[in-house]
Amino acid sequence: GAVVSQHPSWVICKSGTSVKIECRSLDFQATTMFWYRQFPKQSLMLMATSNEGSKATYEQGVEKDKFLINHASLTLSTLTVTSAHPEDSSFYICSVTQGASNQPQHFGDGTRLSIL
């Protein structure tokens, strides 16, 4: 069965609105969750590492005020794209892990975000 639930799977909204994407760990308490962005025909680009109860760690070049991450519990992390614009349109994927480097990441099914 699914280990990770990511919602919504597809969202279309107008430019200037904010969009929230949820990532839930279903099978275990995830101390660490990751948020990725993926462009067509490209690999995953890590945006940020989300740790429960602390601030997210953003990768270089990722605007933390644009992409707000909240990891309020061991099973839920959210990514909010604030004041979204067409250039934010992309495929966003979350993953969960138990936090050790020898543990695999388990991925959600992704969210297709389209900003008109």
Q: Is 67 in the site for other proteins (CB under 8 A)?
A: no
Least distance in Å: CB of 9 to other proteins? 9
Q: CA 37 to CA 102: how far, in whole Å?
A: 23
Binding to other proteins by residue 27, rule CB under 8 A?
no
Query: Per CB under 8 A, does 98 bind other proteins?
Result: yes
CB 21: neighbour CB atoms within 10 A? 24
Q: Considering only residues 32, 75, 77, 90, which one is a binding residue for other proteins as defined by CB under 8 A?
A: 32
Region near other proteins per CB under 8 A, out of 11-19, 67-75, 79-87, 88-96:
88-96
Judged by CB under 8 A, the stretch of 12-20, 69-77, 81-89, 93-101 that binds other proteins is 93-101
What are the residues facing 76 on neighbouring strands? 24, 73
CA pair distance 64, 44, nearest whole angstrom: 18
107 makes contact with other proteins (CB under 8 A): yes
Whether the CB-CB separation of 114 and 43 falls below 8 Å is answered with no
Question: What is the Cα–Cα distance from 19 to 50, expressed in whole angstroms?
Answer: 18
Rounded (5°) CA angle 2-78-108: 25
Residues of this chain that interact with other proteins (CB under 8 A) are: 4, 6, 31-32, 34, 41-44, 46, 49, 51, 91, 93, 95, 97-110, 112
